[in-house]
Amino acid sequence: MTIKKFSISRLILTFAFLCNAACVSAIEPSSLIPEIHGTFRGRFEYEPDSEMQRFQVRNARVSVSGQIADPISYFFQADFCDKGKFKMLDAYGRLAPDSRWKIMVGQMRIPFSIDASRQPHAYIFANRSFIGKYTSNFRGVGAKFSYSPEKTPLYIEAGLFNTATMANHDTWQTSVSAGAKARYTFGGCLAAEVGFESLVPDSIRWNAFDVSLSYQTDRWLIEGEYVNKHYSNSTHATCHAYNFMGQYSMPVKAGIFNRLAFQTRFDGMTDHSDGYRDENRRLVTTQPRRNRLTIGSTLAYLQAKVRCEIRLNYEQYFYPSHVDVAEGNNSKLVAELVIRF
């Protein structure tokens, strides 16, 4: 028992020393003013087959961040209108003992996937890929760290999280959820990423593995990603999800707009379960097998701290013949206005 107490005390003292050694100096009062950013996405959707249509405020996000000492910062983010609903998304504090390490505690995105990690203002298409929307996009309450060596183009992020939903921070648990990813950049334009995620949404654990490759220059972005999602004890068939997309951008002069981009994407998924059991305590397929082809263009006004995009996408869905297509999941035309400040 004495050895255990000594080890824990030594660990705490070591961590405190690292934080102190990181030069916890006072910041000028003017630097304590929080930084505020916002993202608005409003859209119109039309399904030619059913002749159904709708207007929608997809996001009205506001984030507040700031630094109270050299290694200490915070970040809060809420969506005031996610399809008409308020959502508290992120709330965490961050310690940076040095330039390589960051430690975050609070409510945040679970590290996994390249497409699921994008913020709404950085989306390439009006609607996220199936990977970004269904199989891999999760937030949780917990702690994570990131590590980026000074002279190596490597980035590592990993964390442990509650298995309970973000709406319930009081639940005690015997297991945890986890996520991790590592990204290595070759020559500044080619990046490879791998990831692992393990969650228990209800009482059945699923594990997911991710691999992606992206190539980006001033004008081109080409990306491919694959996710394998396995449910424990074969409670549901393994889900395979994939996303292949490309974008070409060029400068233009069209009124206030200064960039025009063209995009295409092919993504798909096999039968997928969200991990929650039905009344018979079984996992059921919540998203059926499908493929989708998306083509689009974006006209953008880009400045240092603000941006405005007008996006037009057409999505063609492909389902197996036996699938009953849910409302809103048919082929559609999407026109969207995105404002970021």
Is residue 37 within 8 A of residue 63, CB to CB? The reply is: yes
pLDDT value, residue 28: 63
pTM above 0.75, yes or no: yes
Among 312, 316, 334, which residue's Cα sits nearest to residue 325? 316
Domain boundaries, the chain: 25-340
HSE-CB of 79 using CA atoms within 13 angstroms: 16
Q: What pLDDT does 165 receive?
A: 82
pLDDT at 9 over 60: no
pLDDT at position 327, please?
Answer: 83
Encode pLDDT of 86-135 as tens digits: 999 999 999 999 989 999 999 999 999 999 999 999 999 999 999 999 99
- For the cut 80, the answer to whether the pLDDT of residue 311 exceeds it is yes
Q: Do the Cβ atoms of 96 and 80 come closer than 8 Å?
A: no
- Tell me, what's the pLDDT at 168? 84
pLDDT for the residue numbered 164: 86
Exposed/middle/buried for 17, CB within 10 Å: 0-12, 13-18, 19+? exposed
Could you report the per-residue pLDDT of 44-61, keeping only the tens digit for each? Answer: 999 999 999 999 999 999
Task: Work out whether strand 154-161 and strand 307-318 pair parallel, antiparallel, or are unpaired.
Answer: unpaired
Token pair recorded at residue 332: 């559609």
Q: CATH code for 25-340?
A: 2.40.160.10
Q: What pLDDT is stored for residue 7 in this prediction? A: 47
Confidence band of 10 (pLDDT split at 50, 70, 90): low
Mean pLDDT, the chain, as a whole number?
91
The more confident residue out of 248 and 326 is 248
Task: Tell me the pLDDT band of 26, cut-offs 50, 70 and 90.
Answer: low
Length of the chain as a residue count: 341
What are the C-alpha distances in Å from 92 to residues 38, 143, 209?
18, 9, 26
Reduced to 3 states (helix: H, G, I; strand: E, B; else coil), residue 15 is helix
